[in-house]
Amino acid sequence: MEDAAEMYAASFEALHDCPVGKASLRFPDLRILSWCASNRDIFQVTGSPEQREGFSQWVEEVSQAGYRSDRDESSLIITQRCACAAASLPTIGEAVRAAGVWDIPPIAFRNGWESWRVLAWSEESLRDLFRRIREIGEVRITSLRPVDNAGLEQMMLVPASDIFSGVTDRQLSALILGLEHGYYSIPAETRVDRLAEGAGLSPSTFGEHLQKAEVRIFRNLRPYLQAYAGRLPGEGVLGEVRPTPSRLV
């Protein structure tokens, strides 16, 4: 039996005539993540309410929004059709498929540039990909390396930058302290007031750090959770949920 071909992983940034990329130039404060599914775009947009509203209006003009959900500094938008397909322009996705390379979503857009992660069976396929991209725009290669099975598994996991986006250092420190001292064990091995005393904070301040970190991380994970569940947002949601008491402090 012949040895399997070596697999390569690459990350790159591309700048070309792309509707979403142009929109990210119009709204420079936004962090735009994009998934393409069944000829529709799924956008998770993080930033100011004003710029998120402007981006949402742009989506309506270009490809129509079939679903939108707003949570604090983040919006989730699912379109009726793919924005790039509607514009009939050459896309990075087409170059990826033509080169026989596989992409690892999501695609991140910021200030006109789009960031991609891809896998290929050979360096030749990657060279072909970058040649095709240069025919329609610019490309900046940020990493290129061989990858084994263990590395492949890690690449397929949710990027840490997506999970912890918007979580402050103080909030992360509070989470780590809670984990290390059994706050999240069942049953809990400590209380917020004890953790707060060790951190030199009031129970209310420490509890606020914990709650904000928890909420932010779960909201960042929401698109991944919904994709894993295999259903659109809102399906199977109870019409009314009774509020439950907060954690005892």
- pLDDT tens-place string over residues 135-176: 999 999 988 888 765 445 555 455 655 677 778 888 888 988
Among 13, 18, 33, which residue's Cα sits nearest to residue 115? 13
Lowest mean pLDDT among 33-37, 83-87, 110-114, 182-186: 83-87
pLDDT, mean over the chain: 81
Q: How far is CA 67 from CA 71, 128, 232, 233, 237, in A?
A: 14, 37, 9, 8, 15
Please state the domain extents for the chain.
Answer: 7-157, 162-229
- Using CB atoms within 10 Å of the CB of residue 34, give its burial: 0 to 12 exposed, 13 to 18 middle, 19+ buried: buried
Tell me what percent of the residues of the chain surpass a pLDDT of 70: 78
pLDDT at residue 1 greater than cutoff 80: no
Among 40, 31, 10, which residue's Cα sits nearest to residue 113? 31
Average pLDDT over residues 5-22: 87
Predicted model pTM: 0.59
- Continuous H helices in 7-122: 19-26, 49-62, 83-87, 92-98
**142 φ, ψ (degrees, to nearest 5):** -100, -25
Phi-psi region of 187 (alpha: psi -120 to 50; beta: other; left: phi over 0): beta
Among 4, 14, 11, 13, which residue's Cα sits nearest to residue 122? 4
The alpha carbon of residue 160 and the mean position of all alpha carbons in its chain are separated, in whole angstroms, by 9
pLDDT at 240: 46
